[in-house]
A and B are shown apart, each in its own frame.
Chain A
């Protein structure tokens, strides 16, 4: 038996549990309750002000969350990457460790903490909680790229007379972009699609797109739920294509 045949069980498994389910989203999205072909689920989304509003809010929150994560996470990753190796390894673990505690439990504790401090739950607390949940996902990839970066580029720029500020903006930042873009990928889409977390952090005031999908599936509106999931899949496809192209462009530069 050829050793490449060892992949067959997993290929079969993926065909059933990865590919077929995605095809089913497509099929259900274009069917009505009786299994007839229809566009109505898709057109319904564009006339459903509740879903459209939630969609806009989700994108807005996701953009803000991603930007804050970059602003807070980049300096942290940079500081960590410029330390001696042993000490930064311990600190990196400290940053990742909270993720091993159940996310819902952490979120609920954050909400209660705000309650105790007398801060009203709303947009601000939602953003804080989201940053709290996703910051490690931004720090880690940027740290990885920065730590592996060839220091001689920065040194060369310095030798050629660039100020430290210029070295940072013209050399370090461009070279670390692959880390930033994988961080964006790990923060942006998951934010759009979270459910439960946003309700807990805003006392049910703000819903994100994931919640709308969940509500429809749970109230047996499978076809409309599938259509909403399909819309999200399309956005994921577009964003991941975009970041792949960027990665290739960057790879060609280096």
Chain B
């Protein structure tokens, strides 16, 4: 009985959390302009999305493209910068280590608005014209701390002698780096990359303040402007539904792979 209530409680919470998403998915199969107004089953919004045959289509597709490009660039740069930084921080001692870790935490604690406003003031101060580059730099700023925090534990788990051993056995520093250090850090780098990537995809506030006035839109800023104009572009509904399905499939694949790995380990 107790178990039943516990289970029912979890399902109720999940039902509430998923209601808006299911709502979007259902209304992606009707043509009406307004979300919540059912005008009969139709797959035209999906067709429009794929053929690009819709009002303001070019800007929606451009926004999707920008979002992915920015997230990819920011995640790659964050992973490179953060991994090198983590190796350095791991070898720092005492006060300097404390100071660097403290500053590393700031972008994670700061609300998006503060990060956005402060970077906006920076680019104004430096007379740096805002656009693609400033958005990417801003996303690297809040993405890198996550990479650092993902890689650091891998460094403390690693045997420090194996890198030295590789050098003693005649490996050049770059060989030792590629063949010894990076393979050991790879799991941390990958989870850091994924974190930086998803933070960038989901960001609204920081992009909003650092994109300048050249008309650069990511999916978030596109939705914001769209909603303020009154009425969302209907094709956003199928787009969100597809993104959700994609995430669902990805997670299922990752989970199944982990299960398989676990079973392999057991065998």
Which A residues contact B (CB, under 8 angstroms)? 2-11, 13-14, 16-22, 24-25, 28, 72, 75-76, 79-80, 90-91, 93-95, 97-106, 108-110, 112-113, 115-116, 132, 135-136, 185, 189-190, 192-196, 200, 210, 213-214, 217, 222, 225-226, 229, 232-233, 236, 240
Contacts and interface: CB of A to CB of B under 8 A. Distances in A.
B84 interface: yes
Given A22-B106, A72-B13, A3 B88 contact: yes
Contacts of A9: 81, 84-85
Given A10-B88, A21-B119, A100 B202 contact: yes
- The B interface is mostly helix, strand or loop, or mixed, namely helix
B100 to A, nearest CB: 6
25 contacts: A4-B88, A7-B85, A8-B88, A9-B85, A16-B122, A21-B121, A22-B118, A25-B117, A28-B121, A76-B9, A79-B9, A91-B10, A93-B255, A100-B202, A102-B219, A102-B223, A104-B220, A104-B223, A112-B34, A112-B36, A132-B16, A193-B113, A213-B113, A214-B113, A226-B121
A102 B141 contact: no
A232 B85 contact: no
Interface string B1-45: 000001001100110111111011000000000111000000000
B146 interface: no
Interface string B228-253: 00001000100010011001100100
A99 B20 contact: no
Contacts of B148: 10
Given A21-B119, A90-B255, A217-B117, A101 B21 contact: yes
A4 B14 contact: no
Contacts of B20: 106, 109-110, 113, 132
Contacts of B16: 132
A14 B114 contact: no
B224 interface: yes
A209 B201 CA distance: 24
Nearest to A100: B247
A112 B26 CA distance: 13
- The A interface is mostly helix, strand or loop, or mixed, namely helix
Given A6-B88, A10-B81, A102-B219, A113 B36 contact: yes
A104 B88 contact: no
B111 A190 contact: yes
Interface residues of B, number: 72
Contacts of B141: 13, 17-18
B92 interface: yes
A109 B14 contact: no
A225 B113 CA distance: 11
Contacts of A210: 111, 113, 205
Nearest to B243: A101
Chain A CB count within 10 A is highest, among B16, B100, B110, B144, for B110
B119 A185 contact: no
B65 interface: no
A189 B198 CA distance: 21
Contacts of A24: 118, 121-122, 125
Contacts of B87: 3, 6-7
B227 interface: yes
B121 A195 contact: no
Contacts of B205: 195, 210
Given A6-B85, A109-B20, 18 more contacts: A7-B91, A7-B92, A10-B84, A10-B85, A13-B140, A13-B144, A25-B121, A79-B10, A95-B14, A97-B247, A101-B247, A102-B219, A106-B21, A109-B24, A113-B20, A116-B36, A196-B224, A226-B121
A98 B248 CA distance: 10
Nearest to B38: A116
Contact of A5 (B88, B140, B204): B88
B212 interface: no
Contacts of A112: 23, 34-36
A79 B10 CA distance: 8
B81 A13 contact: yes
A121 to B, nearest CB: 13
A213 to B, nearest CB: 6
A79 B112 CA distance: 32
Given A7-B89, A196-B204, A76 B10 contact: yes
B120 interface: yes
Contacts of A190: 111-112
Chain A CB count within 10 A is highest, among B23, B36, B114, B208, for B114
